[in-house]
Amino acid sequence: MRILSAGDEFVGNDLLKAAVRAELSGTTTEVEFRELSLPWPIEPFGPVAGVNEASGTEEDVIAALDDAEVAVTQMAPFTRKVFEAAPRLKLVSVCRGGPVNIDLAAATEAGVAVTFAPGRNAAAAAEFAIGLLLAAMRRISTSSAELLSGTWRGDYYTYANAGVELEGTTVGLVGFGAIGARVAKVLVAFGAHVLVSDPYADRAAVEAVGAQLTDLDDLLRRSTAVSLHARLTEETRHLISAEKLALLPHGAVLVNSARGGLLDYAPLADALWSGRLGALALDVYDVEPPPADWALRDAPNVIATPHLGGASKQTADRAASIVAAEVGRYVRGEPLANVANPDVLTR
């Protein structure tokens, strides 16, 4: 069987190939690998011919496939052009939570199953979100940067400028998927009062972790801090707009480590300067990387990291194992576990 391993600088080809070989070690299938090395994350991902968050080109993928039956990847763009040029391809196993770099309609028309890896970075992303929340509420990052630049901010210990504890504070979580649910458990353990807004969440599951399910407007009005954990869809794009920001209590903290498109970035600088937002912590952006004239560079109380929420070694290891397991199921003729285009199974 010919398999394309299209790795990158995070989930690399060595990791992918080793995981696939380990998965297939108990079978009689002989594997011949083709390799494509992609430049992400050294070079940011972007749209490629109708798919999103991809790295590399259609031409590179087509050349590397070379009649492969299976492809494993995280970032390679699998577009209509790619599927039309790869008639022997039957499975693309993508090691990320949402296969946005795959044209699912074209894959289905071509009879190619596409699998994904839900929850592969849930632990890493949840920990990172908690870290951003703590850093913003207790001025950890901003005070560190000021101290290293030569400024001792003793005034941060004054009552007017002191931070806020998680214990006893109301924190709102927008989204209750694999990551949001983990964050909720940790916050409850800290002693926070946790509100959840998610139209698809099961109320019993929310209440089981000690949180309360409510609507978005109520959550925003009641929360001292808000962290975003929703998936980006047309329904959730700019879910937090200027109108929604106005519902927050004065001085609230806002964290976005999910997807840049969930948040309207245009009103954020003014909200920080006016004090409507007491602090803002970001790991994702509407444009990545942000432009040189980005208004938030000079705004007060901003923490900004370069899309690192899922960047743990365990995430990469887990991602490779998940895609390899799908390859194993395919080889053994077993049902695939996480199919993004289930209609293909009836073709």
Q: Which of the residues are catalytic?
A: 259, 288, 307
C-beta of residue 101 within 8 angstroms of C-beta of residue 86: no
Question: Do both 183 and 240 map to the same domain?
Answer: yes
Give the pairing type, strands 51-54 and 46-48: antiparallel
Question: Do both 144 and 231 map to the same domain?
Answer: yes
Count other Cβ atoms within 10 Å, centred on residue 314.
11
Contact residues for 305 (Cβ-Cβ < 8 A; gap 6+): 132, 282, 283
Question: Do both 203 and 285 map to the same domain?
Answer: yes
- The reported pLDDT for the residue numbered 198 is 97
- DSSP track, 32-51: EEEEEE--TTTS--EEETTE
Cα gap 161→209, rounded to integer Å:
32
Cα gap 75→7, rounded to integer Å:
8
Question: Do both 115 and 154 map to the same domain?
Answer: no
6's enclosing H/E stretch is strand 2-7
Residue 97's pLDDT band, with cuts at 50, 70 and 90, is confident
33-82 pLDDT tens trace? 999 999 999 998 989 999 999 999 999 999 999 999 999 999 999 999 99
141-167 pLDDT tens trace? 999 999 999 999 999 999 998 999 999
> Which residue segment(s) compose the domain that 98 sits in?
2-120+312-346
C-beta of residue 246 within 8 angstroms of C-beta of residue 272: no
Question: Do both 126 and 116 map to the same domain?
Answer: no
Question: Do both 127 and 116 map to the same domain?
Answer: no
- The reported pLDDT for the residue numbered 26 is 85
253-310 pLDDT tens trace? 999 999 999 999 999 999 999 999 999 999 999 988 999 999 999 999 999 999 999 9
Question: Do both 131 and 259 map to the same domain?
Answer: yes
Question: Do both 339 and 288 map to the same domain?
Answer: no
CATH number, position 158: 3.40.50.720
64's enclosing H/E stretch is helix 58-65
Whether residue 347 is predicted with pLDDT greater than 80 in this model: the reply is no
Mean pLDDT of the chain: 96
Residue 186's pLDDT band, with cuts at 50, 70 and 90, is very high
Question: Do both 116 and 128 map to the same domain?
Answer: no
Question: Do both 138 and 103 map to the same domain?
Answer: no
Residue 140's pLDDT band, with cuts at 50, 70 and 90, is very high
Residue 98's pLDDT band, with cuts at 50, 70 and 90, is confident
Whether residue 335 is predicted with pLDDT greater than 90 in this model: the reply is yes
Question: Do both 280 and 156 map to the same domain?
Answer: yes
From 126, 209, 49, 130, select the one nearest 196 (Cα to Cα). 209
C-beta of residue 260 within 8 angstroms of C-beta of residue 200: no
The Cα-based distances of 249 to 17, 191, 271, 310 in angstroms read 51, 20, 12, 30
200-234 pLDDT tens trace? 999 999 999 999 999 999 999 999 999 999 988 89
Q: Domain count of the chain?
A: 2
The DSSP letter of residue 223 is -
Question: Do both 91 and 147 map to the same domain?
Answer: no
